[in-house]
Amino acid sequence: MQHQIWLDIDLRAIAHNCRQVKSLIPDDTSFMAVVKANAYGHGDIQVARTALNNGADCLAVARLQEAISLRQAGIRAPILIFGQTSLEDVPKLAEYDLMQTVYDPDIAYKISKKAVYLGTRIKSHIKIDTGMGRLGLNTLPEDKSSQTYDHTVLESIAKIDSLPGLEIKGMFTHFAQADNPDKSYTLEQLHRFLHFATDLKFREINIPVLHAANSAATIDIPESHLGMVRPGIMLYGLYPSPHQNNTLIDLKPAMAFKTRIIQVKDVPAGFKVSYGSTYTTPAPTRLATLSAGYADGYPRILSSRGCMLIRGCRAPVVGRVCMDQTVIDIGGLQGIQPGEEVTIFGKQGEDLLPVEEIADACSTIHYEIVSSIPGRVPRIYHPHEEQ
Ligand SMILES: *Cc1c(COP(=O)(O)O)cnc(C)c1O
């Protein structure tokens, strides 16, 4: 079948990026490949296999269903679920041998009770909030000037650690600003985390693995690597942000978003384009209608604003982006026929339209653009076998 829109996914690039992660971390630091949200849109099964073949020790996803589909594809590496799993699904955690994040003593107690009833123990990682302000046992002291943390949290962890239905495999925290060139907030979070871990040790609570580093911290905060790193975005060849020190690694973007021209039209000046007739051609030109729209993950905000690559040239999007179609102006180009390939972002031969540029034009981040491309866009893997 000839696709009218598709994603080219370069698994060699994923393999290369995984080896880059390995080159940054000590041999005794584990590497958890974050493949949540369908591996940031790249395809979780193929990416997971490639990562595991190139240095990753284990995987992480956001939700139970994501973990189950990896297991159903035959992936046997340890998998951590970052988000919540409902109590009724505790048997599935056991059945599929998954690791669950716990961050609340009451929920942990209920999971444990269920596990004991089932005659099993649920492998768990405790999540603590050291300043991200999202998920995790809150360790932040009420008195902001205090250098340490709220000690009642130690009691909660001790309780969770003693639960008979849980097997505590690790403890982690997440950074809010690891990509900030000013690392002080991240180091404060790291120190709070480590201080806390040390105090747990004093109480003879030994947590096997401590982990904190996302991609930005993996790239340029070596002291945050601890027992394990959890990179996501860098596996896909994207730098977390332009702000951290990116000279330490060489990443290769793995995704290219492609579509085809389905109609070419020569039009006069004054020709109105797409819904709302918001664009009028200022001069005679040639327009190409493409098989790509906002239901393919091409944001509507790029109406009369975005551009795409065709034959190495940037062609502007004219008029509104529709659900399944978009129009570009190919005025300067000769001999373009329906069926011709257009690159929405990524590489086209030697030319590149970086996804970061698309994200900037939408006032968002590349994470959102790549992870929002829906399942109706087929992923084509190169090479076809995992690397
Ligand atoms: C998504 C996520 C990561 C990976 O973050 P990147 O910035 O993509 O490297 C790591 N840890 C947690 C808890 C996450 O939710």
Q: Do 11-236 and 255-353 agree at the fold level?
A: no
149 belongs to the catalytic site: no
Place of tokens 């900037």: 360
Residue 46, both tokens: 């193929």
Instruction: Give the residue whose CA is nearest to atom 4 of ligand 1.
Output: 232
Residue 193's alpha-carbon distances to 32, 148, 175, 189, in angstroms, are 19, 9, 11, 6
Question: Would you state the pLDDT for residue 144?
Answer: 66
DSSP tag of 308 = E
Q: Which residues of 130-139 are buried (b: 16+ CB within 10 A; e: fewer)?
A: bbeeeebbbb
Question: Would you state the pLDDT for residue 246?
Answer: 86
- Answer whether 319's CB lies under 8 Å from 279's CB: yes
Q: Decide: 211 in ligand 1 pocket, CB within 6 A.
A: no
- Answer whether 284's CB lies under 8 Å from 259's CB: no
pLDDT tens per residue across all 387 residues of the chain: 899 999 999 999 999 999 999 999 999 999 999 999 999 999 999 999 999 999 999 999 999 999 999 999 999 999 999 999 999 999 999 999 999 999 999 999 999 999 999 999 999 999 999 999 999 998 877 766 666 777 788 999 999 999 999 999 999 999 999 999 999 999 999 999 999 999 999 999 999 999 999 999 999 999 999 999 999 999 999 999 998 888 889 999 999 999 999 999 999 999 999 999 999 999 999 999 999 999 999 999 999 999 999 999 999 999 999 999 999 999 989 999 999 999 999 999 999 999 999 999 999 999 999 999 999 999 999 987 666
Q: Decide: 326 in ligand 1 pocket, CB within 6 A.
A: no
CA of 113 to the centre of ligand 1 (A): 30
Question: Would you state the pLDDT for residue 150?
Answer: 74
Q: How far is the first Cα of the chain from the last one, in angstroms, to the nearest whole number?
A: 24
Place of tokens 């002080």: 184
**Alpha-helical regions (H) of the chain:** 11-24, 36-40, 44-53, 64-72, 90-95, 105-118, 152-161, 184-202, 215-220, 355-361, 366-371
Domain residue extents for the chain: 11-236, 255-353
Q: Decide: 230 in ligand 1 pocket, CB within 6 A.
A: yes
Instruction: Give the residue whose CA is nearest to atom 1 of ligand 1.
Output: 232
Q: Which fold has domain 11-236?
A: TIM Barrel (3.20.20)
Question: Would you state the pLDDT for residue 240?
Answer: 96
Q: Which of 79, 179, 180, 230 most suits a substitution to test ligand 1, by most atoms within 8 Å of the C-beta?
A: 230
Q: Decide: 82 in ligand 1 pocket, CB within 6 A.
A: yes
CA of 312 to the centre of ligand 1 (A): 34
| Four-point Cα dihedral 13, 17, 20, 24, nearest 10 | 170
Phi, psi of 190 (to 5 degrees): -60, -45
pTM of the model: 0.96
Question: Would you state the pLDDT for residue 248?
Answer: 85
Instruction: Give the residue whose CA is nearest to atom 12 of ligand 1.
Output: 174
3-state secondary structure of 72: helix
Looking at 2.130.10.10, 2.40.37.10, 2.60.40.1190, 3.30.390.50, the CATH number of the domain 255-353 comes to 2.40.37.10
Closest atom, ligand 1, to C-alpha of 34 = 4
> Which residue in the list 22, 36, 272, 367 is annotated as catalytic?
36
Residue 216, both tokens: 């930005």
Neighbouring-strand partners of residue 288: 264, 328
Counting Cα atoms < 13 Å in the Cβ hemisphere of 323 gives: 1
Question: Would you state the pLDDT for residue 146?
Answer: 64
275 belongs to the catalytic site: yes
Question: Would you state the pLDDT for residue 71?
Answer: 98
Contacts of 357 (CB under 8 A, 6+ apart): 345
- Answer whether 283's CB lies under 8 Å from 53's CB: no
Contacts of 380 (CB under 8 A, 6+ apart): 3, 6, 7, 8, 9
Kind of pairing between the strands at 272-273 and 279-280: antiparallel
- Answer whether 176's CB lies under 8 Å from 189's CB: yes
